[in-house]
Structure 1
Amino acid sequence: MRVILGPMEGVLDHLMREILTNLNDYDLCVTEFVRVVDRLLPEHVFTRLCPELLHGCTTRSGTPVRLQLLGQDPNWMAENAVRAVELGSHGMDINFGCPAKMVNKSKGGAALLQHPELIYQIVKSCRDAIPKDITVSAKIRLGWEDPQDCFEIVDAIEQAGATELTVHARTKMGGYKASEIKWEYIEQIKQRCQLPIIANGEIWNYQDGQDCLTQTKADALMVCRGAFNVPNLGNVVKHNQAVMAWEKVVDLMLDYSMYEIEGDKGLYYPNRIKQWLAYLRQEYAQADDLFRNIRRFNKAEPIIDYIQALKDQIK
């Protein structure tokens, strides 16, 4: 079973990819989106978001990385898809699912779910522009508001020549509410569509993954938010591995802290570690205590000192 680490804008950067792929047997990572508007972007835009391009476009543990583009102009999307592939991306993914208001306001991401013909043009332009042996994938939601719209959207993507499709089983208006997940639509998509389908949404543990595969008949799974709640979720879902113990999570946070303060986002470290703790405390009660104790700190040093002291205390 393929398990893919999905993109999360502002969360899953290259440093987090290093951490999570070192822990998990992921088959692929998809990057945060590169925003395409009205020009061919310079190389440094791609390598800043995906420095793995400089090293065979794999993480240090060897997991392949695929760049994701977001935009609404078919010609410029194609131009930038060519550049990404020439730089070494393992295929090209197109974002038709981002529900962020700023993105949708500028007619990107999930806003395009209201325009299947434009989706067709974007995918076809990218498909026609890059070699046939290179994967062109797309990520969608079920629609803007009506999940029935997914069938026309999927048909547009398939007819345009995409290689595979990831379906987040909620509409844009469904947001991230658990009650809005509709895996049954993925099963219906599988019955109508010849493309390999990757199922995404509400996969938090091994049983969720098995239930999703059973209901949807999907070819693979993608995890996103859950990968931050449980750092070894990829292996939990793929191999039924036990959830990582809290003491191992503390070690991991210290490793992550070293990545962050030495990396290009070191100035943002306090916000980044607090952001991660906000996810971790969904699974670990201890993370909630840690979050409350460090939230007043706005410098890296006292936060790292506190986590180190916590590690020493656990020992």
Structure 2
Amino acid sequence: MVTVSYICTLFERFGMINFHQYGSKWRHNVQKVYTYGLFWLFVVRGSCQCYNVVTRATRYLPELIQVLLEMTILAFIIYIAYFFQKGHEQLTFLSHFMDNVFSKADRSIIQKCHRYSNMACLAFFAAVSLAVVGSFLETFIPLSKSELDIRRKVYRTKYPERRLPYNMRIPFVDESESWAYETIYVIDMIVMFYFIWWVSLSVSLVPVMIIHVKGQYEILCKYICIVGKPHADSYGNNIFYSNIVRNECYIKLYTAPRGKKKLISRTERLLRRKKYEQNYLRQIIEFHKHLVTFQKKVSDELFFFQVIFKHFNFILFKQLYLYKI
């Protein structure tokens, strides 16, 4: 069951963000060292790739294009990690808001949202994993003589047939020699393991958030559709909602005083029905207000997602159209 809070938990476990939520000072310091250690490992590795571009890749255009693409992706994920680390309080607020304020009234819609969010997260994880694993498997494929000559000309290493998953250069070190090659290869495996999780989780965050918000608008539209109509449960009993967000309702609305049933029953029923309809409409407005508050919080605090979340209201209008409102 993939939710924003679950993604935030994985962010912390894989060292991308420190949410500062541990009560123990020792655990907090360990998480801090773990997070900053991984972040600077990515930065150092990116710097070595930049050094490789400046000193080597410029000698061969196809290699230069490939390395620049790799560096762009790496720079993007470093920026995302820095952005999330700076905005961890806002991300925590949004995850708690979705867990505690979002409605879970319609179980079928909630289950559908969880199913779609699981599929989206698994699809991103599989795509990133295949790309990274493919880069490692490529290093075991034998090179042709022409490719070997190109690598000898571009990299000028002692053993050009030895390839790293992602080309990098360390000053004053020949990365093709035994001790350096094995060490860098292992470091590359560690970095790419975290890279898979960082990229897949970062890319999954927005779709998962949108899927769950879309489900909230579907639930809201469902309640809007029955405004002014008798409300009934699955058994056909008339019900009256006291809290539509939590799906709290009761069956009996009023009890007429003994001896006055024939005199005031109809009048009392109309008055109480009108009062109930007003309260029901007020609940709908509050429900929509919570969603607008969430949208505004995302747009104001996490400006990185501002363009995407401008379409939340479009989701509402689309659902109303589908319900023939």
The structure showing larger relative contact order (alpha-carbon pairs under 8 Å, at least 6 residues apart) is: 2
Check whether TM > 0.5: no
What's the TM-score once normalised by structure 2's chain length?
0.26
Q: More strand by proportion, 1 or 2?
A: 1
What's the TM-score once normalised by structure 1's chain length?
0.27
